[in-house]
Amino acid sequence: MLQLEHVRKRYADFQLQCSLTVNSGRITALIGANGAGKSTLFKAALGLIAHEGNVSLFGERIDQPDERQLERIGVVLADSGFSAYLTLQDVRRILKRMYPGFEEERFLTLCRRLELPMQKKIRTFSTGMRAKLKMVCALTHQAQLLVLDEPTAGLDVLARDELLELLREYMAEDERRSILISSHISSDLEPLCDDVYMIDQGTIVLHEETDVLLDAYGLIKASDEQYAHLDRRYLLRVKREPYGVSCLCRERSFYAENYPGLVIEKGSIDRVMTMMIRGEQV
């Protein structure tokens, strides 16, 4: 569906250099700290910035998506949106002219469902309402791929749940659809995504199936003496702590079976990301 191969983008104080694949029928998460390169990667994938390396979209290698390909992509970017002086009636008319596959009835239905007023200007909308509007626009022109950069930013827990449910419905309608999504809120991603890419300083530092990350990864809390006797073949990162050493491992069951005295906590996206970024290589 979407593939980035050795994509590079250089700025004065930052360099993106990574590869990533979003397969058909999958929801792929891109996670990382602020400034890690998530938005730059999204813009490179969409042809919004010049870059080196190869991007393939819907099986075709491209320099920049053409009109035909763009019609098949639903996009939410942090710095995108309609003029604040438009109403949703204006937005409806614009989308109808832009996209041959625009689903007008679905647009109206989703606006009602998310309590977005049709006659008020967008400048009167809250941050959460503007986020909802971006999602509605992405979901109502029969897109096969969604590229969503922080789509739930600024939303409370109930509003986030509404939008995540829309994404589940979107995927359930057609098994060939795909989503690439970033979010700072790991609780949104863990039950939603099939696989996770972790980016740090412009480089992909980890790619893993979400189920594997949650089931097999673990955080070991060891004393200095325990750490000295650990088999290190499954350790990914280590970090000095007041009590000894924290260790990120990718085979939690191995250490639970062979070191019964160890304290081993289950992995989570947040814990794995923190250790991959702040920990040291073994």
Structural domains in the chain plus CATH codes: 2-211 (3.40.50.300), 217-281 (no CATH)
Task: Going from the first residue of the chain to its last (282 residues), give the mean pLDDT of each consecutive group of 10, the final group possibly shorter.
Answer: 90 90 95 87 87 85 76 86 89 92 94 93 90 93 93 85 92 93 85 93 93 94 92 94 92 93 90 90 84
Query: What pLDDT was estimated at residue 33?
Result: 84
Query: What pLDDT was estimated at residue 236?
Result: 95
DSSP the chain: -EEEEEEEEE-SS-EEEEEEEE-TT-EEEEE--TTSSHHHHHHHHTTSS--EEEEEETTEEESS--HHHHTTEEEE-TT----TT-BHHHHHHHHHHH-TT--HHHHHHHHHHTT--SSSBGGGS-HHHHHHHHHHHHHSS--SEEEEESTTTT--HHHHHHHHHHHHHHHHH-TT-EEEEE-S-HHHHTTT-SEEEEEETTEEEEEEEHHHHHHH-EEEEE-HHHHHT---TTEEEEEEETTEEEEEES-HHHHHHH-TTSEEEEP-HHHHHHHHHHSEE-
**CA distances (Å), 50 to each of 55, 62, 104, 238, in order?**
11, 12, 34, 37
Identify the CA nearest to 74 among candidates 37, 111, 41, 99.
99
